[in-house]
Amino acid sequence: MENIIRDKLYKEFIEPTKQKKNFIGIEIEVPIINLNKEPVDFDIVHKITSNFQKEFNDFSPNGIDYDGNTFSLKNSKNSDIVCYDCSYNNIEFAMGREKDLFTINDRFITYYTYVKEEFEKYNYTLTGMGINPYRRYNKEIPIPSERYLMLYHHLKSFNKYNDIPMHFHDYPGYGMFSSASQVQLDVHYDDLVKTINTFTKIEPIKALLFSNSVLMDENKHVTCYRDALWEYSTHGINPHNIGMYDVDFESIDDILNYLETLNIYCVMRNESYINFETMNVMDYFKKDHITGEIFNNDKYEQIKIKPEIDDIDYLRAFKFINLTFRGTLEFRSVCTQPISDTMSVAAFHLGLKDKIDELDELISNDRVIYHKGYTPSELRKLLIQDELPAFINKKELCGLTNNILDIAKEGLIERGLGEEIFLKALYNRVKNHTNPGKNIIKSLNDGEDIEKVIKNYGGV
């Protein structure tokens, strides 16, 4: 059975990377904010969704909730998806794959501008902040659909895990108020090991550049609280399912070994999700049956199922760098950025992907943050703080970060499309020793109204 499982993992996660492709996929989650400081009215959301479909008639519903409301629209021509993520408090723009950033950016700005102007008619707005600054006003109600009810049920189940040495936070609904900017890139089989290893080592630098998730009124010294929201939830019961790798892979076999250490917590039967206690995927397949819970007629009921090899399809990790069934690497550690800087995330990853050897050499020889007794995960935890630790020289850190940006810029220049322009905001952040999260904290400490930040971060 173990060989069957391993072969299935290889077929689903590794085999697709052997295709020669070079596309870019981008997902941008954006909080919806009711400037009246009241809960987002979902009826307004549904009206705007309907208006969007009429305005952009290539879009049609591909997700309908249990109440008959559309929560996802897909473009039949370019596969763009405009949907709501976890709840109707968050909107997501999942852009269909393309070969250049300008094409993606033009379409994103078109959709975003229309939706924002529609919301503004009701004194609502959209903004590029990784945690909704008005989260305390909103209702934490998941989208009434199979996937999102299952996900929220899983996250709320943390009280069942009393026998593990782990602290859980008090925000099981964090998916309804936190937003990310994710990038999917085609990385070929031959480059998979080095790309994962090298990008893992620059996660601390990415924290320095992109942090933008400040939990208002709590933990205001942390610039990227999203990390903790994932780590100290039921997704983080097995730390291999979230965060960073902190190991150097030497081969594809090493990656497969890692996949075998992941936990599984849900499957589908007859188009219905079944939740069960999160467990190692190899242990799951050793069991004759699993007792789980299924949502039926507005309540959860117990159900027994027999593991099937195709249940591998529901093995979902939430790593900072994820292998996907599409044969891509998904980079998912970055918060939603101020909207005018949205493409900086994809530009950074795309430029470095094509210069992985140069990046690997730079990081392997680094003495600014590495070779000081800290792992990549430990360094990232330090660099999402508002203040740098004393052992890091600020000037040298800026130099290292600029060198990484220069490599990304060179990679983009070699593509010959002018995409390096999207890195400008990142160079400015290094020059000013800041990032969006630090700017939020400074604004709050200076007594600036959060509404001004919301407006600035939402402008195109």
CATH code of 2-273+321-458, in short, is 3.30.590.20
Alpha-carbon distance of 91 to 138, in angstroms, equals 14
- Do 33 and 124 contact (CB within 8 A), yes or no? yes
pLDDT of residue 30: 98
Residue type, 227: D
pLDDT tens string, the chain, 460 residues long: the values are: 889 999 999 999 999 999 989 999 999 999 999 999 999 999 999 999 999 999 999 999 999 999 999 999 999 999 999 999 999 999 999 999 999 999 999 999 999 999 999 999 999 999 999 999 999 999 999 999 999 999 999 999 999 998 899 999 999 999 999 999 999 999 999 999 999 999 999 999 999 999 999 998 787 899 999 999 999 999 999 999 999 998 999 999 999 999 999 999 999 999 999 999 999 999 999 999 999 999 988 889 999 999 999 999 999 999 999 999 999 999 999 999 999 999 999 999 999 999 999 999 999 999 999 999 999 999 999 999 999 999 999 999 999 999 999 999 999 999 999 999 999 999 999 999 999 999 999 999 999 999 999 999 999 9
Residue 288 tokens read as 């004759």
Alpha-carbon distance of 435 to 274, in angstroms, equals 41
pLDDT of residue 394: 96
pLDDT of residue 298: 82
Alpha-carbon distance of 118 to 55, in angstroms, equals 11
Residue type, 66: Y
pLDDT of residue 78: 98
Instruction: List the one residue out of 34, 74, 179 whose CA is nearest residue 83.
Output: 74
Alpha-carbon distance of 424 to 337, in angstroms, equals 14
- Do 31 and 129 contact (CB within 8 A), yes or no? yes
Beta-carbon contacts of 115 under 8 Å, excluding residues fewer than 6 positions away, are: 48, 52, 82, 91, 126
Residue 48 tokens read as 């705007």
- Do 193 and 185 contact (CB within 8 A), yes or no? no
Buried b / exposed e across 247-278, counting CB within 10 Å, b at 16+? Answer: eebeebebbbebbeebbbbbbbeeeebbbbbb
Residue 43 tokens read as 């009826």
- Do 148 and 64 contact (CB within 8 A), yes or no? no
Alpha-carbon distance of 385 to 336, in angstroms, equals 18
